[in-house]
Chain A
Amino acid sequence: MNALLDYEIEPERYEFFESLAALETTRRDFFRIVGGGVIVALLLGDEAAAQRPGRGGGPPEIGGWIHIGEDSAVTAYTGKVEIGQNIRTSLAQVVAEELRVPVKAVRMVMADTALVPPDAGTFGSQTTPQMASQLRRAAAAAREVLIDLAAEKAKVERTSLKVTDGKVSGPDGKLFAFGELTKGQKLMKLIGATAPTTKPDDWTVTGTSVPKVDGRAFVTGGHQYASDIRRPGMLFGKVLRPPAFKATLTNVDPKAAEALPGVKVVREGDFVGVVAPTAHEATAAAEVIRADWRGEKQISDKELFQHLKDRAGKGGGGFGGGGRGGGGAQGSIPDGLKAADKTVQATYTVAYIAHVPLEPRAAVAEWTDGKLTVWTGTQRPFGVRSDLANALGVAADKVHVIVPDMGSGYGGKHQSEAATEAARLAKAAGKPVKVVWTREEEFTWAYFRPAGVIEVNAGVSKDGLLTAWEFHNYNSGASSIRMPYAVANVRTEFHPSETPLRQGSYRALAATANTFARESVMDELAHAVGTEPLAFRLKNLKDARLRAVLEAAAKKFGWGQAPAAGRGYGIAAGTEKGSFVASCAEVAVEGEKVRVVRVVTAFECGAILNPDHLMNQIEGSVIQGLGGALFERIEFADGKILNPALSSYRVPRFRDAPALETVLVNRKDLPSAGAGETPIIAVAPAVGNALFQATGTRLRGLPLVPDGFKKA
């Protein structure tokens, strides 16, 4: 059979390939991976291509793809990473739906750079809007290919055939297992953005609460995280860390370490590490290396906020705040303030906080014939592959990164430090090496959610309408800085600054900081003109989706009642990444003791893929959000983290968990948006507003009560 005739490709898509020969190479690459059968791959349009890390390795124009093997097996390939958001399940649901097979019949191959299409990374709530839709289209097209093959085989009209329960059936009751149709085939179909899919109203698999597909492996301890990988002859690595940030190595004496049995010291410039047969011996060896460092004076958390203001515009601000510029301006702030009956001028702050994924950074690296394989926990497998290629001086196609489903990340695992360290040590040792960061290393040498200062200058008329809104965020970021309430005179601006600590992405980026400041000031304005806070918001709101979640949360909470003495109710709302959230909180204050009693959250992210997993994400976001709202903060001075341990950096525990109630607003008429981030953003202001009602004190810094409640 002429291979070229196997292709079906939309004519306008053909231009993506320079020639039919390139297309044939692509096809061969795919079948080298899977053997025979049918492949349907999605050709990326411009929008989806923006999620790509650029060209390098693999056929660059292909998005998610589906393979149906000669044994009927259905496999979907994606560069996305399972971090606990349960996309291994939701993506399998989408594929199962379109191919009319049980969910358990779909195997997901994820985040293995030798097998999956290049991908920029798993962040920004993009898996659901981008990857679920790509795989859905590919799976739907694969179903049509199977029908074509069956029609040809049975010599019947394709319209007389249908696909149910993993088989194609004809009018005479004849059934074809997928494998009977794909046997002996090497057929590849490329499809475009417009491939038709099942409408949400007709979903029977997506939209249902399918349990975590491999849940059993987690409760039995069978699942192997990157830190669990063991290789024959593997050694353990440990890296020598400076005593403080910005310290430079002036002298190192490794003799005492080298004298230990089985220990090898590796030094390349400022990088000093050891390998040893056990982690215990590697740690002991690193401890006896004598090193001299030259330090430099650095600011402490006491001077942080002044520093961020003073240095505004002077630094790059690091990465991870989200967005540039920020929201824009219209009207005139002076005019708006002149028209106001009451004004509020306030400064809000947020501290640096740590992600604390329970699995710290970890990697196992192994070199074979000049090729490098690394198992590691990262949200950016292809980014780590490039970093490894650059750091180790090898071509990217000689580097293979495998990301086992991870012990979470929350935006905190975008970098490649542990992978690079393991690869360097493995190269020097000539054996596989595992590096697992300690909790202290994780707290010190990873990166933090950016701290920030937010200044707000707002005006309101006595009838409760906003007249002016000026909002400046220093350092923390621009996400959700745009004003969602209607106001004629508005100016919102993000000012990058110089960060004394390493900072980066954190679940929802700066949307948490900006929503905290905005929704707290909205509360201040409501009280300033004596309007009830929910009514005040609704009065100034034109966005119907934000209104819907506010009303849904308020209804479930029973908003409008007066709290008992020592208790307070607070409400807040926000939107980010195409989804909408409102939270209501009840707090109890007894002396200095603060307890969040109850949190009700209403959330809308378009058409829901898996209601139970969505609930789980919302509940988890609320708990994690409570940590940053109430007590989490990084303390630092002179280049050192002062609380780099779980005994000194408090994260939420069982006792901190309030009663949680969640309202899912399902909008089947709207495209599905991601949901792992946005549910966190309204927690802190809801709690802050509740504390104000309970105590009469307005707390304007996150965390709100790190040392308990203090009267202003």
Chain B
Amino acid sequence: MLRAQTIASQCRKLATTIVVCATAFVLRPEPLQADASTGTWTGQVTAHGNYYLETSTRVIMPDFAVEVETPSGLRLGADYLIDVITSASIASGVTEDDLHTELRHAARVSVGKELDVDGTPLDVSAFATFSIEPDYQSWIFGATSALSLNERNTVLQLRVSGVSDTVYNNINPTFEEPMWGLTTRFGVEQVLNRRMLLALAYQYDHLDGFLSNPYRVALRGPLPFPEAHPEQRNRHTADARLQIYFPRPHSSLHLMYSAYLDDWDVAAISPEVRYFMHFTPWFMTRLRYRYYTQTQSYFCCNGDYPTLAEYDGPITNDPKMTEHHTQLIGLRMEVGLGTLQDTVFDFAKDVWLEGTFDRYLNTNAFGNAWIAQLGGRVPF
């Protein structure tokens, strides 16, 4: 634990240094660009209400975000959300029927800019996210870069982010365990022709520290023991996305595929298809289907553990560690109010309303869920 705390502290310092350096690099003085003479600031304000409902858990999450781009091309972003989690779930550790409501607050800031490096566009950005709830605190720092080559036909992307979390326990005030992680992602986007785009990426995650649920227990023989996952996890993800544009009807098809493997013996694949269609300039829909299947971890699950008192290996009752599959079927609609231009409602002509409705089918113990979002955005 001491090692994890030390590493978490060093991770925070390193992440802070990276973000500060990236921000300073983005904000460094530069000669004004040609388009800066217009003095136009652009951006958008968005607000959404998000909803998640399954048998044992309900989440209501409003979020608000502001994005601004200055005349010199500097991008600034800030958003805030609050999670209202009402649960009697096996994950929360509540064993009776009483509902437990918990609030999570999260804020994120970001800064970015496209730079010109000897005629080659290089987009760099940095972000920081802070999230807090009664039994969990999380910091995420990160920086991304995208190098555009060959008249933007090829884009190389690199993202590095670090996470530093602290896990608490609402039942045991002395409980405090750290967790830190590092994520690196390398991607390539390639224009194939006038109507096709392909993106490939590889991501590596390393997690270290307390990776269990502090409330969950697992049975070893007849006796319950606190869940104890291994304290390290190395995760590898490769994904691909092929996007095809169709002029008639005005639409596009996105084919996606993801393959995953980690050292807990969890392997997963996830194909997904998305179909976007513009019915009119003011009405767009997205249909979506995603399939996901995974193997179980090597230390899964109840009933398979030695009853020997000296056994101190990993033990879990986590439904995520079981072999299972999920399906997600979704519909998204966007309606622009541009038709209100030159009417008494002209002030609302730039507003877009958005609605997303997903049905999530899950064969593990968490069960099926509904996921939805309603909201809108106002560009300026």
Q: Tell me, yes or no, whether A binds B.
A: no
Query: Chain A residues in contact with chain B, CB under 8 A?
Result: none
